[in-house]
Amino acid sequence: MNALMFGWEFPPHILGGLGTASYGLTRGMSQQADMHISFVLPRPWGDEDQSFLRIIGANSVSVPGRGCIEFSGRYPDNLLEEIGNYEAVASVLARQLDFDIIHSHDWLTYPAGVTAKYLSGKPLVIHVHATDFDRSRGQVNPTVYNIERRGMDLADHIICVSELTRRTVIEKYGQHPDKVSTVHNAVEPLPHPEEFTKHPRKDKLVTFLGRITMQKGPEYFVEAAARVLEKTDGVRFVMAGSGDMMTKMIDLAAKRGIADKFHFPGFMRGKEVQELLADSDVYIMPSVSEPFGISPLEAMQVGCPTIISHQSGCAEILTHAIKIDYWDIDAMADAIYAIVKYPGIYRSLSEMGREEVNNIKWADAGIKVRQIYDKVLRR
């Protein structure tokens, strides 16, 4: 089985969860002996791990009449132009390469997938890692919506990363439920989990980590922190990351009078992230709308008890995490208080959470994707 995949991000150069998921899924799928994946990226950097798949740089494909096109590989202001160029590259690859199925990751690559489908006659599967409804808290950009909608309409099958996303796709994009499946994301096992240990410290650490934007619900975290600090001492709060709501959050923390216990260390990457998670007593992700949300799983890997919102896709597959509604600051504060005060629940979430997450494997997700391929090809 040869799959032609269109993606936008791939580690180590990633900007969000899409790259991590693309890597995990393809790696998981590559464990099937007859699975060959060609992964098209706008602009590879050359240091990607190519041991289990072939990476094709869109910027090194010669398009008739235009030659090789430059790509930023990011999310530039002329994103739509870049999407169009990527589609042009896809039309070349669709004729050159030999493949059985096309698989497009997220809306940026849907047009490329659709074009490849029309030129090759091969079926198209699109993978919805997020929709514009998640990104915009309902203020949908019509251009983006139209690209998403067209991709979904013309796809042979749609894979969503959670039931939550699946419902959005069915309800907001008018797709037939039979055409939409859920394949939950997984998490790559840590090569050396013992590397990350918790340092003894006087104060308990409660951590929020991610883009400080509307979608992630940072203001609810600040409010919950204020509630906890009203009642108890010896707890510190960390909001790591950056984003357009950061200054507002700093103001809010000051207004609540908790700035001395509320810290903003800025953007973190790589090992720093795991180190902070391993050192934290609580990880919290109060997202207003999260298609999946891989970071709670990463926190659980290093044994950090985790609180997530019901509005996060990963809540569907986790038992040993505390789930609250993102707006329910009382419940959130209560959960934080419990974890820092009652050792039984800390231990249970830490140990059983780690065990649970170690059993969520990309290879299993890969098998589910393969079953979908088989089903689509049989038709």
Is residue 51 within the footprint of another protein (CB under 8 A)? no
Is residue 358 within the footprint of another protein (CB under 8 A)? no
- Binding residues for another protein, rule CB under 8 A, total 23
Is residue 191 within the footprint of another protein (CB under 8 A)? no
Helices (H), 37-109: 79-96
Taking CB under 8 A as the binding criterion, the range among 22-30, 173-181, 205-213, 334-342 that sits at the site for another protein is: 334-342
How far apart, in whole angstroms, are the C-alpha atoms of residue 233 and residue 227? 11
C-beta closer to another protein: residue 250 or 352: 352
Is 6 within 8 Å of 103 (Cβ atoms)?
yes
- Annotate each residue in 229-248 with x if it binds another protein (CB under 8 A) or - if it does not, as one string: -xx-----------------
Q: Which of 188, 279, 316, 334 is close enough to bind another protein by CB under 8 A?
A: 334
Extract long-range pairs of 320-329: CB within 8 Å, 24+ residues apart.
320/348, 320/349, 320/352, 320/353, 320/355, 320/356, 321/296, 321/349, 321/353, 322/349, 324/286, 326/217, 326/220, 326/286, 326/287, 326/288, 327/220, 329/220, 329/223, 329/224, 329/227
Across the chain, the runs of DSSP E, i.e. the strands, are: 2-6, 36-41, 54-57, 62-63, 67-68, 101-105, 124-128, 157-160, 180-182, 204-209, 235-240, 262-266, 282-285, 306-309, 322-324
In the range 302-331, which residues lie near another protein by CB under 8 A?
Answer: 319-320, 322-323, 330
C-beta closer to another protein: residue 152 or 304: 304
C-beta closer to another protein: residue 53 or 314: 314
Please report how close the Cβ of residue 234 comes to another protein at its closest, in angstroms.
14
- Annotate each residue in 203-232 with x if it binds another protein (CB under 8 A) or - if it does not, as one string: ------------------------x--xx-
Is residue 256 within the footprint of another protein (CB under 8 A)? no
Please report how close the Cβ of residue 205 comes to another protein at its closest, in angstroms.
18
Is 306 within 8 Å of 294 (Cβ atoms)?
no
- Annotate each residue in 338-357 with x if it binds another protein (CB under 8 A) or - if it does not, as one string: x--xxxxx-xxx-xx-----
Please report how close the Cβ of residue 173 comes to another protein at its closest, in angstroms.
30
C-beta closer to another protein: residue 172 or 320: 320
For residue 11, what are the CA distances in angstroms to 50, 126, 224, 304?
Answer: 11, 20, 34, 24
Is residue 163 within the footprint of another protein (CB under 8 A)? no
Residues whose CB is less than 8 angstroms from the CB of residue 257 and which lie 6 or more positions away in sequence, other chains included: 226
Q: Which residues bind another protein (CB under 8 A)?
A: 227, 230-231, 319-320, 322-323, 330, 333-335, 337-338, 341-345, 347-349, 351-352
